[in-house]
Structure 1
């Protein structure tokens, strides 16, 4: 039932299925299906959600904060004090904080510095860092790091989808190879059956010997054994393909009569107008490393800033009230201000933090150099391998044409009694083997094309466009 549901979904999912053969699973339909339903594809989509959450958290450090406090003390039938305050703190992106407060206090033992009139005291002021925190602080660094985290998440998502599609494509090509190999072997069996029946008829008519009949039967049995061996490989490759077929969060099964498209339909040739440097520079693995380096550079600037002393200046105009209302009244003579200064004597923790951030950057730089070199060498090797496989394909096609000519000539000789079952079988074997080898070479060539697209970060674009 699950396999029936799967093939029905594939039919609805894509109009590219041929109406004449509803069991055909084309490569493009398979690739789109994998990218839309496989758990790893959905896991890759979570990278965007993680990045959005990280960005929200970084922006949240700039959210205004409202705080209130109420403290009362009663002792020995006396109201010692009541302290009530409201405070609104608004951090800005330039290391400045705006602070507004309202205080209302009373009591017989009230500390003079907390004393207000009966309608309370308002203040509105600013706090600013003049040394450490002037150019960068935890809030601004968090915002910059969140931006690079988003880029890293995009690179990781692209890498996950690239890996998934590459592995799924390899599984499809392997299944395709085993499927069409079986078709060639079946052709060989059909030929062997025809010649066995013809030989037996000739034997019954006295034209062939019993040995000829036995030889024809053994040829048929050999090809049947070859088919059984191929069936084992086909079942295995089909199971590997099914690992990428998911529906509604459950693994699916490929219907028995499903067939792949022909190897000639798979075209994985990109437009090669980009240089080697361009190909490597846009690879998500390398971009991820470069964005990690930028991420660590933000950390380094923050650690370096912490080597400065802390010097914070505060200025708050005090706004009293008039009459019976609580409306604040400004007077330039009423204010409070202050300076806070602190500095570690040795800065050992800060210097260690800066050194760690520098080491992280150096580590990523070495990793970038290594990854770039590996990618360049793999791309060059893939291009060379494609050229070799293409030459082998062209040569193998010529061999097939040659073996077919020899086989047809052997048929003609047999009509005049100048050939034998043994010779015809040998010609057939060579012809069928050459076709099977062509199928295998085609698979290797397509896989190398996919590998090149995978290494140059164009796999998704070429397959889905």
Structure 2
């Protein structure tokens, strides 16, 4: 009996229910490494970068609305042996930001039956086209370019938002993987301990030191742990598959995480998250100022405001003025100093039109205003949702800290109960059944502690995610 108690004490009393596994740092995977791999190689991260490139291309396209345009018109008519006219008139038009268009060209008209309004021979002109009402303060070209600039910046913001969500999903999978691995190794250690115990009890039975019922008791305990070990191993493998979905190689191939790669031994060391902002007031301020989802609403509202200004132009009459200064020959400035602009050598035109009821303009303008109101309300709701989410996660964080402290004490108490039961067993006041019962409670406490710690770190990352900082 004395030898049995000594060995039993070695098997139970020296075991702190924390399996110690020798690890090679090259075979471990940390949370920050997962984040780096996802940022660098995940297809969704690459797609978000492509969207930024598309926004840049759209910006280049929008700038094309202000490119100078070179054109030419060539015409000739000959009928019944008569040369009616020959016309050659190249022109260059240069759009400017404020809706004014500068143009210049040369003309050469020859023929026997020219339109009397045409200037025969070589002539040149330089002039401007000016919108006096509609399109003066805003036109489609300016609206498209302004919105393209906004959407280019919006693309960066949306990329941050995509990465923020993607990295949080990766962290969910990672901490589930960490929890599953530690549950599996804990149960693996329990199986090894109970195998040694079963061997010893069998030898004690052969020596007449133990009853046969103790062998059954020990075997039942071992089989229970073996069953749980198999369950946790499957959970660990499945968690590895879930985590593998976020891991890709540099060549764009999916990476299957092998079982030989495991979490680090110091996975529950808070030093890994020491640089994270966990202060509630600071997180709320950061969210208000920098959260990509709220910033996206800001950019969309700016784009909608430009659209509203453009739609307002439809409420204005179209009043366009075009003026050309004319010169003989191909020098458009040859007669500039000969007379005032409306005295000689000029051509102008004025066009005015306005819909009588402005129905289309009023309808489009109202729709633009309603879109802005709708987006403002959505932004307010999103701001409130984010604030509530941050407060909830912060409450969870504080609660989990306290729960972990209590669970550490709980585990320590159960370990002391196991040792106390050993003493009673040594004095003949207890049984192997009671020792197993105490042991099971201690293991359950250790399992709960693993779950709480994994959840604690997941909440830390969730806090960063809810504030838009995971990118």
Structure 1 residue aligned with 2:222:
220
Task: Give, in whole Å, the separation in 2 of the partners of 1:384 and 1:373.
Answer: 16
TM value normalised by structure 1: 0.90
- Of residues 239-248 and 267-276 in structure 1, the stretch that sits farther from structure 2 once superposed is 267-276
Q: Could you tell me how far 1:420 is from its partner in structure 2?
A: 2.4
Candidates 275, 292, 314, aligned match of 2:322: 314
Equivalent position to 2:57, from 53, 56, 60: 53
Q: Is the 8 A contact 2:173 2:243 kept in 1?
A: yes
Q: Deviations over 1:381-421 (max 9, x none)?
A: 11111111111111001111111222223334444544322
Aligned to 2:33: 29
Change (3 A) 1:275 1:162: closer
Kindly report which structure 2 residues correspond to 1:241-280, keeping only aligned pairs within 5 A, or say none. 241-247=243-249, 248-261=251-264, 262-265=266-269, 267-268=272-273, 269-270=276-277, 272=279, 274=282, 276-280=284-288
Q: Which residue of 2 aligns with 1:161?
A: 163
Q: What is the Cα deviation at residue 437 of structure 1?
A: 0.7
Deviations 1:105-144 (A, max 9, x none): 2111221223332xx2111111111111221111221222
For residue 439 of structure 2, what is the aligned residue in structure 1? 428
User: Given that residues 188 and 428 in structure 1 are in contact (C-alpha distance below 8 angstroms), is that contact kept between their aligned partners in structure 2?
Assistant: no
- CA distance, structure 1, for counterparts of residue 278 and residue 413 of structure 2: 34
Residue matched to 2:410: 399
What is the CA distance between 1:277 and its match in structure 2? 4.4
Deviation at 1:281, TM superposition (A): 3.7
Give me the whole-angstrom Cα distance separating, in 2, the residues matched to 1:219 and 1:388: 34
SS at match of 1:163: helix
1:19: how far off? 9.7
Distance 1:326 1:78, change over 3 A: farther
Summarize the alignment of residues 303-382 of structure 1 with structure 2, pairs less than 5 Å apart. 303-321=311-329, 329-330=334-335, 331-332=338-339, 333-382=344-393
1:71-110 to 2 correspondences below 5 Å: 71-110=75-114
Cα separation, partners in 2 of 1:419 and 1:198, compared to 1, 3 Å: farther
Distance 1:260 1:144 in 2: 49
In the alignment, which residue of structure 1 is the partner of 2:128?
Answer: 126
TM-superposed CA distance for 1:59, in Å, is 1.2
Q: Which runs of 5+ in 1 are unaligned?
A: 1-17, 461-465
Q: How many residues align?
A: 438
Q: Name stretches of at least 5 consecutive residues in structure 2 with no aligned partner.
A: 1-21
Q: CA deviation at 1:306?
A: 2.0
The Cα offsets for residues 77-97 of structure 1, whole Å up to 9 and x where unpaired, read as 222211111010000001111
Q: Normalised by the size of structure 2, how large is the TM-score?
A: 0.89
Deviations 1:142-193 (A, max 9, x none): 2221222123212211110001000001101000100011111111112211
Residues 35 and 41, structure 1, Cα contact 8 Å, conserved in 2: yes
CA shift, 1:351, in A, is 0.7
254-263 or 35-44, larger mean C-alpha shift: 254-263
Flag the 1:234–1:327 CA change in 2: closer, same or farther, 3 A.
Answer: closer
2:297 is aligned with 1:297: no
Q: Distance in 2 between matches of 1:359 and 1:70?
A: 49
Q: Distance in 2 between matches of 1:265 and 1:277?
A: 28
1:445-456 → structure 2 map (5 Å cutoff): 445-456=456-467
Instruction: Write the distance in 2 (CA, Å) between the matches of 1:75 and 1:19.
Output: 97
Aligned counterparts of 2:395 and 2:237: Cα–Cα separation in 1 = 33
Structure 1, 155-164 or 328-337: larger mean CA deviation = 328-337
Bigger drift between 137-146 and 347-356 goes to: 137-146
